[in-house]
Amino acid sequence: MISDTYTLQKVIGRGGSSKVFSAIDREGHTYALKTIRRDKEYTSEMESMMVMREYMVMMHIGEHPNIIKHYSCNPEGDNQTPCYNVMEYCQNGSLSSIIKKSGAIEENICRFMFLQLAAAVQHLHSKHFCHLDLKLENTFLDEHFNLKLGDFGSGLSLANTNDLTSKKVGTPLYIAPEVKQDIYNGLKADIYSLGVTLCLMLLGELPDTSAFQAEKSTVGSSDIEGDSDVFMDESNYEKLAYLSNSSKDLLSKMMDLNPDSRPSIDQILAHEWVTTKDASGMEFIVFQEMQARTDFISADKEM
């Protein structure tokens, strides 16, 4: 029991500064409790600030069907009870875990799921807010396999800054190359990370598979390493050969090394690959496909 309200069940996620548990309240409803990791030895003031900051960020962003809901927070931790945020529970976990264990997603299904992710990013960018850690590990699936964007601990409001920031955060594989500079456009950096995420959804593997590790997060660090140009190397184009021309066109534009040449999120949603087929009626097809994948993964674990 935590705070006499929630009974912790199991660890469902772990980040650079936090640990996430599934938890049940007194009425039997399930939530995700994001707690501050005690092994990091943050001061109580720092723990409280981190929890309150994410909660206030979510209040600023507001609700969206493809963004994980935040319900409340407890910034007053003690020796027995950590500070925590109470969030929506997504019972089918992260999209990352499914793709790593079952492979690439067929384009029509990927398009439907990407539309949901892009809609969440559009909502953020319309408020001049950048996520700064867009990746598969931060995209989650609810009971119907609807996609939900989460983990806004690195997010930043760019209001009154011309969308510029100097914040050095992210995960190496997904980081736009310009983040290493003194100042950069946070919205354009998000677009690059979103492009890498889409590439992973469509390919199911990476040119450098060793980089596909959640543990390599550098969130909160100014020491960012890794080759952000790996997808643009000519030797990797063979891996994209079976994709449609329109998907490759969108990927190349989103991961353009020049941030000024990348499309906005509105332009992405108007791109031929996104609009070429009507997404209506895809919900059941996506559900069947993703359920089959999770069933396969579960069966494989039992063997």
pLDDT digits (tens, 9 = 90+) for 129-138: 999 999 999 9
Per-residue pLDDT at 217: 42
Angstrom distance (rounded) from CA 204 to CA 66: 22
Domain finish residue from 53, 88, 123: 88
Instruction: Indicate the residue type of 95.
Output: L
Same domain membership, residue 69 and residue 108: no
Does residue 107 form part of some domain?
Answer: yes
Per-residue pLDDT at 220: 40
Same domain membership, residue 175 and residue 69: no
Does residue 165 form part of some domain?
Answer: yes
Same domain membership, residue 119 and residue 143: yes
Does residue 302 form part of some domain?
Answer: no
Per-residue pLDDT at 222: 35
Same domain membership, residue 150 and residue 32: no
Token code pair at residue 207: 């040119």
Same domain membership, residue 157 and residue 16: no
Per-residue pLDDT at 113: 96
Angstrom distance (rounded) from CA 236 to CA 229: 11
Does residue 127 form part of some domain?
Answer: yes
H/E stretch holding 164 reads strand 164-165
Are 286 and 109 a contacting pair, CB within 8 Å? yes
133 is catalytic: yes
Per-residue pLDDT at 153: 83
Active-site entry in 4, 25, 39, 133: 133
Domain finish residue from 88, 103, 123: 88
Are 239 and 205 a contacting pair, CB within 8 Å? yes
Same domain membership, residue 272 and residue 154: yes
Does residue 171 form part of some domain?
Answer: yes
Angstrom distance (rounded) from CA 80 to CA 71: 22
Angstrom distance (rounded) from CA 18 to CA 296: 29
Q: Is the dihedral of CA 245, 250, 255, 261 positive or negative?
A: positive
Token code pair at residue 170: 């992210």
Per-residue pLDDT at 232: 47
Same domain membership, residue 112 and residue 83: no
Same domain membership, residue 224 and residue 138: yes
Same domain membership, residue 254 and residue 114: yes
Q: Comparing C-alpha atoms, which of 272, 262, 221 is closest to residue 125?
A: 262
Does residue 19 form part of some domain?
Answer: yes
Domain finish residue from 88, 111, 130: 88
- For residue 225, what are the contacts with CB-CB under 8 A and spacing of at least 6? 172, 218
CATH code assigned at 207 = 1.10.510.10
Number of domains the chain contains: 2
By residue range, what is the domain housing residue 65?
Answer: 7-88
Does residue 27 form part of some domain?
Answer: yes
Same domain membership, residue 278 and residue 148: yes
Long-range pairs for 261-266 at CB < 8 Å and ≥24 separation? Answer: 262/188, 262/191, 262/192, 262/195, 263/191, 264/125, 264/187, 264/191, 265/118, 265/121, 265/122, 265/125, 265/187, 265/190, 265/191, 265/194, 266/122
Per-residue pLDDT at 49: 87
Same domain membership, residue 194 and residue 227: yes
Per-residue pLDDT at 227: 43
Does residue 214 form part of some domain?
Answer: yes
CATH code assigned at 52 = 3.30.200.20
- For residue 158, what are the contacts with CB-CB under 8 A and spacing of at least 6? 128, 129, 130, 164, 165, 186, 187
Instruction: Indicate the residue type of 73.
Output: C
Per-residue pLDDT at 235: 52
Residues of the chain with pLDDT under 50: 207-232
Same domain membership, residue 227 and residue 119: yes
pLDDT digits (tens, 9 = 90+) for 235-257: 555 666 778 999 989 998 999 99
